[in-house]
Structure 1
Amino acid sequence: MPPAAATITPPRVRVLPRWCGLVAAVALLVATNVLVGVVWPAWAVPWKVVVAALLLVLARVCGLGWDDLGLGRRHLGRGLVHGGIAVAIVAVVYLVGVALPATRTAFEDTRAAGTVGAMLYAALVRIPFGTVLLEEIAFRGVLPGLVGGGWWRRTLVASALFGLWHIVPSLGLSRANAAVGDTLGGWGDVGRAALAVIATFGAGILLCAWRRWGGHLVTPVLAHLATNSLGVVFAWFLIS
């Protein structure tokens, strides 16, 4: 009998070069940051879901596969395990932070004030779909894939862009959080924005490391979700 024909995997079609995709992705993110941060904040959640989908389409058009984006099925189980570890670490750190008087004020953020329904909406809808989904797809999935090169190159570029992404959200932080306001009250908007860029640049590197450890984008998604959503829950219990 003749030998079985070898299975040939067709090459991915690249319609755009990756550098064009990178420019387009950054431009889309800049426009999104201005539109939902300044002009149409009420539309932030649905618009960011749309942008996340557009970024995935753009990445595919530029020839990136699901494994390049951290969304392949092969490492999903490992990613979930590492993500569960990240959630547990965040929960323990928050419990210790709330228990210690010296750090408890850092959780007293007026943005978490409101009804139980408002808190649940923030923790289960606004943060997962209006923050985590887009930021993880963009800064730990699409942008590193479009940048290419070694892990450190991809991580540093994507994390620097992640830091810049947080300039607009940082401007009202000292007014919402008493601890931040006491610490940074004299820095002015420029100083607070610069510190926010540095802090989120570091957070971006850590989240990229979580993706590398887990082998899947679900790991930084869970770490990011735990950090933000649990933060809202803990803050709500403290100030309500």
Structure 2
Amino acid sequence: MTRVRLGRPTACVAALGVLGAAQFLRERLPRAAGVPVSVAASGALVGIARRAGAGWDELGLARGRLGRGARYGTPPALAVAAAYTAGAALPVTRPLFADARAARTLPGALRQALVDVPLGTVLLEETGFRAVLPALLREPYGTRGAEALTAALFGLWHVLPSGALRAANPALARASAGGSEPSRAATAVGNVLVTAAGGLLFGLLRRRGDSVLAPALAHSALNSFGYLAAYAVRRPAEG
């Protein structure tokens, strides 16, 4: 049976549909469903890109590029770990890490850092926004244009999650809104701008490292060490 090849515009629409469906499900299903949804959606995204003719190198998923990706992704990941350690220790920045979404037990925090983040968050977002969408958009918009578009989409992807930020981490919500007491709209705008800027940096890492592993390591560090820092900050406060 001959497989029908997708045109890249059609594939791009399909990929956005998969990402939208995954976001919808993750916001409405129990937290335990996050990893299965992410894994399934990531597989669907790669399948769409391959049907559109994207090769493993083009997607940044070639095994031969993993070493280079690790070399580019490890230094920023270590820098994030050092910055979070200092931030959680300093009184002036410690409130930024007091996030109610972090687990209250060490096993729970480790699960968030080692399972929920890499498989439930980073896998899907890096597959979608640093592998599949840039590959599908590169032909009409060029490499830099594709990176800019996917960074903007990455920022918009965080509109719904921004709703939980105000309640879970008021200090960070105020910081993202410029220091004022944020409205829901201001929190969303601040979160979109910050994550879009992060998307640009992740895109740069993807291009320099020639592998999605490079931004995935940095992205995992940002989220995973955030949960661990939040656990460390909340534990003495609650004890």
TM-score by length of 2: 0.90
**Counterpart position of 1:146:** 136
- Per the TM alignment, residue 230 of structure 1 is displaced from its structure 2 partner at its CA by 0.9
Listed as ranges, the gaps of 5+ residues in structure 1 are 1-12
**Matching residue of 2:66:** 76
Mapped partners of 1:116, 1:71: distance in 2: 33
Q: 1:94 aligns with which of 68, 84, 100?
A: 84
Cα deviation, 1:46-79, whole Å, max 9, x if unaligned, reads 0111000000000000000000100113322111
Distance 2:80 2:4 in 1: 39
For 1:181 and 1:157, the matched residues in 2 are separated by 25
1:83-122 equivalences in 2 (<5 Å): 83-122=73-112
Provide the rounded CA distance (Å) in 1 between the counterparts of 2:108 and 2:172. Answer: 23
Alignment of 1:158-169 (within 5 A): 158-169=150-161
**Percent identity of paired positions between Structure 1 and Structure 2:** 40
Which residue of structure 2 lines up, in the alignment, with residue 134 of structure 1?
124
Q: Quote the Cα distance in structure 1 between the aligned partners of 2:8 and 2:35.
A: 28
Counterparts of 1:195-206 in structure 2 under 5 Å? 195-206=190-201
Which position in structure 2 is the counterpart of 1:190?
A: 185
Aligned to 1:68, the other structure's residue is in SS state helix
- The one of 173, 188, 202 aligned to 2:165: 173
Is structure 2 residue 18 aligned with structure 1 residue 28? yes
Determine if contact 1:113/1:239 at 8 Å carries over to the other structure.
no
Q: Aligned letter for 1:53?
A: G
Take 1:97 and 1:161, find their aligned partners in 2: how far apart are those partners? 29
Distance in 1 of aligned mates of 2:41 and 2:73: 24
Counterpart contact for 2:206–2:214, Cα < 8 Å: yes
* Cα shift at 1:192: 1.1
Deviation at 1:22?
0.3
Indicate how the Cα distance of structure 1 residues 38 and 186 shifts in structure 2: closer, same or farther if over 3 A, else same: farther
- In structure 2, the residue matched to 1:4 is none
Secondary structure, in 3 states, of the residue corresponding to 2:93?
helix
Check whether the contact 2:174–2:182 (CA below 8 A) recurs between aligned residues: no
Unaligned runs of 5+ in 2: none
More moved, 67-76 vs 140-149 = 67-76
AA paired with 1:142? Answer: V
1:38 CA displacement: 2.8
1:14-25 correspondence to structure 2 within 5 Å: 15-25=5-15
Report the equivalent of 1:225.
220
CA RMSD of aligned residues (A): 1.7
Q: How many residue pairs were aligned? A: 228
CA positional deviation for 1:39: 4.8
Partner of 1:43: 33
Residues 68-124 of structure 1 show CA distances to partners (whole Å, capped at 9, x for unaligned) of 100113322111111111211111211222232221211111111411121111111
Q: TM-score, normalised by structure 1?
A: 0.89
Q: Which has more radius of gyration? A: 1
State how far apart, in whole Å, the 2-side matches of 1:151 and 1:168 are.
28
For the 8 Å contact 2:166–2:184, the answer to whether it is kept is no
